[in-house]
Amino acid sequence: MKKFIALALVLAMAVTVLAACGGESGGSSGSTADTGDTIKIGGLAPLTGEVSVYGVAASNGAKMAIDEVNANGGILGGKKIEFLLEDEEGDATKAVNAYNKLVGEGIVALIGDVTSKPTMSVAQKSAKDNLPMVTPTATAAEVTTYGSNVFRACFLDPYQGEILASYANEKLSAKTAAVLYDSSDDYSIGIAESFKEHAEAYGIQVVAYEAFGEGDKDFKSQLTKIGAEKPDVLCVPSYYNTIALIVSQAKDLGIETTFLGGDGWDGVLGALADGKKTNADGAIFANHYYSGDTDEVVSNFFKNYKEIYGTDPNSFAALGYDAAMVLINAIEKAGSTDKDAIIKALNETDYNGVTGNIQYDGSGDPVKSVTIIKIENGEYTLSEKGYTVKK
Amino acid sequence: MLNFIQQLINGIQLGSVYALIALGYTMVYGIAKLINFAHGDIIMVGAYMSLICLSTLGLPLWATFIVIAVFCAVLGVLIERVAYKPLRGSSRMSALITAIGVSLLLENLFLLLFSSDPRPYPNMFPDISFTIGEMTISFLTVATIVITIIIMVVLSLFVNKTKLGTAMRAVSEDDGAAKLMGINVNTTISVTFAIGSALAAIAAVLYSSTYPLINPYMGSALGIKVFVAAVVGGIGIIPGAMCGGFIIGIAEALIKGYISSTLTDAFVFGILIIVLLVKPAGLLGKNVKEKV
């Protein structure tokens, strides 16, 4: 009997592991047999799975940029760009496998990956190959440290934490703060640590610093603990699916505080059922751009994207678009597909994109400002554009 | 102190759902001597079906409960008839492997039908909450606990007072003797599967309303945790499942609240190991000698 139950438990664990491997990837798109006069650029994104909203949007943005360039006559004297996109389901191992596949297919540069964890794995591989790589949205600090070939179009996790602390201090006059973060996720840890450090430097007392694990769905215990401290602000740096669960449970527990978050909050309203979208009201998060912006570059991007894909772009789409444009401009400027020439050209980037002006300071990280979004009545509203840290 | 009570209520709410699901594991194990690994996936099916009832068909909550309880009961019986019945009498291991097969089949079927993207789940319970001092308890929490307690009372009465319930207990004790006494073993096993699956369906609505995002993998992770609850309480024993569910739920909430929010699962599985070491048949289990 004992043995039987032990065996059953082992089998049970095997089932979970198998189940996790269950979803087969949707495969690549856009690969044609033509090789002669095209320039192959690889793309990596989670097109299915937990974080697919980011992956689909970022790759759509990149595809749109490439299609625009192709429609305008291509690059390097009329050559068309061929975009080879692979689905990695948000998984680091699958991302590295997909990267190897792309390299085998002869890509000259890579747009991707989308989330921090798989991007770090891919960056380590690509640094060895010295393959130019621009990630649209991987915000973890380490991403660009693996080699001079790695660039990104977005700002960093710690920077988001600093911005949020500054905003809480300056605009919300917060005296106490709490943090609830995912201790299994680098993105979440990055923002949480930096927020705590900077909030304390502003004299904000961090009254609770709580964590949860990967795949957790129940946050009531942590929220009860945080609620008892009555913090002015609650920083929840995570991704939209988890955040939807957290804001709903906080509402159930009657916790009243101002939620703060990073760019992972973008998409949270889609993860809340109709009629429950107001659960996230009052929340403030740092983002890359605001979709309702009236600026010409932004509004054109917004219009074209909606025409092509039928949905409103989020900031991941915008960053995907900007990452592709930064890379294409660099290839054009390099005048060849030579890896070192492209990397040199990337370092000299000065590009006005949808998410603002992008320049590089040599580290692969861009110099740019942040847009602050507030959720009101179940909708995203612009709180402040071009916000920078106030000392 | 209030904080502690709030944590306790969180735990009881979670434990209620665990207990409801654990009942399905334990009843099937008690009668068919089968660990039904597809049970967790019945919850997932229940969650998706109730989503369709609530969102697409626009049914009221009470009707949804009835529709999916019936749907899952039928599904449970169907699975039993198609997958498990032909294997009755063969080794336990083949039945166990089949159960895993059914679990994977359901998971991948729903992956195909609904994709792996999590879906938001509408919470159709009234948006009322009760405030006692500094404590806020939502209507959903109260409803979950009350519904679970009612179901447990009804189930206990059913098993102990009705003819069918007596038949179930008889089959679980000795199916050969039960057959000699004129009990239809096939019907009894089907009824057991139907009840277990219907309870899983109700648990699915309660669970999904509390944690309003559902995906095709939700059943397997939840199923494992609940299986642990059933084993802790003593698998095969109905009060054991109830008590195991509450113990695991409350332990989870208190460990998260007072010890470590990241090591919860380690502690929960630690409880399992300790219980199995001290009382191998589970907390309420009797040590029955197995006939060889």
Q: How far is B181 from B185, CA to CA, in rounded Å?
A: 10
Asked if B120 and A228 come within 8 Å (Cβ–Cβ), the reply is no
- Residue B235 DSSP class: T
Which residues of B fall within a CB distance of 8 Å from A270?
Answer: 120
Which residues of B fall within a CB distance of 8 Å from A22?
Answer: 104, 107-108, 111, 217
Helix, strand, coil % in chain A, rounded to nearest 5: 45, 20, 35
This complex has an ipTM of: 0.80
Query: Cis ω on the peptide bond leading into residue A113 (within 30° of 0)?
Result: yes
Which residue from A12, A23, A224 is facing B7, i.e. has the nearest CB? A224
Q: How many domains is chain B built from? A: 1
**Residue spans in chain A of domains classed CATH 3.40.50.2300:** 38-155+294-360, 158-287+371-387
A258-261/A233-235 β-pairing:
parallel
CATH of the domain spanning A158-287+371-387: 3.40.50.2300
Q: How far is A189 from A197, CA to CA, in rounded Å?
A: 12
Domain annotation covers residue B281: no
Q: How far is B154 from B286, CA to CA, in rounded Å?
A: 24
The four Cα atoms A188, A194, A195, A199 give a dihedral, to 10 degrees, of 160
Minimal CA separation from B165 to chain A, in Å:
25
Which residue from A20, A183, A215 is facing B262, i.e. has the nearest CB? A183
Domain annotation covers residue B260: no
Which residues of B fall within a CB distance of 8 Å from A218?
Answer: 10, 14, 210-211, 252-253, 256
Domain annotation covers residue B247: no
Which residue from A215, A217, A273 is facing B120, i.e. has the nearest CB? A273
Domain annotation covers residue B19: no
In chain B, where do the E strands start and end? Answer: 119-120, 129-132, 135-138, 213-214
**Which of A256, A278, A284 lies closest to A172 in space, CA to CA?**
A284
| CA atoms within 13 Å, Cβ hemisphere of A192 | 21
Residue A307, pLDDT > 60, answer yes
Domain annotation covers residue B109: yes
Asked if A48 and B117 come within 8 Å (Cβ–Cβ), the reply is yes
Residue pair A155/A370 in contact (Cβ under 8 Å)? The answer is yes
CATH of A38-155+294-360 given 3.40.50.10490, 2.40.30.110, 3.40.50.720, 3.40.50.2300: 3.40.50.2300
**Which of A276, A370, A254, A316 lies closest to A55 in space, CA to CA?**
A316
Residue pair A120/A113 in contact (Cβ under 8 Å)? The answer is no
A11-15, A270-274, B55-59, B104-108: segment of lowest average pLDDT: A11-15
Domain annotation covers residue B30: yes
Q: How far is A55 from A45, CA to CA, in rounded Å?
A: 5
- Sign of the C-alpha dihedral, residues A271, A275, A276, A282? positive
Note down pLDDT in tens along chain B; length 292 residues.
Answer: 778 888 999 999 999 999 999 999 999 998 888 889 999 999 999 999 999 999 889 899 999 999 999 999 999 999 999 999 998 888 888 989 999 999 999 999 999 999 888 889 988 888 888 888 778 888 999 999 999 999 999 999 999 999 999 999 999 988 889 999 999 999 999 999 999 999 999 999 999 999 988 999 999 889 989 999 999 998 888 899 999 999 999 999 999 888 887 888 888 889 999 999 998 888 888 766 655 5
Q: Best interface-test mutation with B: which of A188, A253, A274, A281 has the largest number of B CBs within 10 A?
A: A253
Q: Whole-prediction pTM value?
A: 0.76
**Which of A53, A37, A47 lies closest to A86 in space, CA to CA?**
A47
A176-182/A233-235 β-pairing:
parallel
CA angle, A221 then A224 then A229, to 5°: 135
Q: Best interface-test mutation with B: which of A224, A230, A253 has the largest number of B CBs within 10 A?
A: A224
Domain annotation covers residue B118: yes
Residue pair A113/A138 in contact (Cβ under 8 Å)? The answer is yes
Minimal CA separation from B86 to chain A, in Å:
21
Tokens of A282: 């009052």
The residue type at A358: I
Domain housing B168 = 24-217
Q: How far is B167 from B184, CA to CA, in rounded Å?
A: 8
Which residues of A fall within a CB distance of 8 Å from B108?
Answer: 22
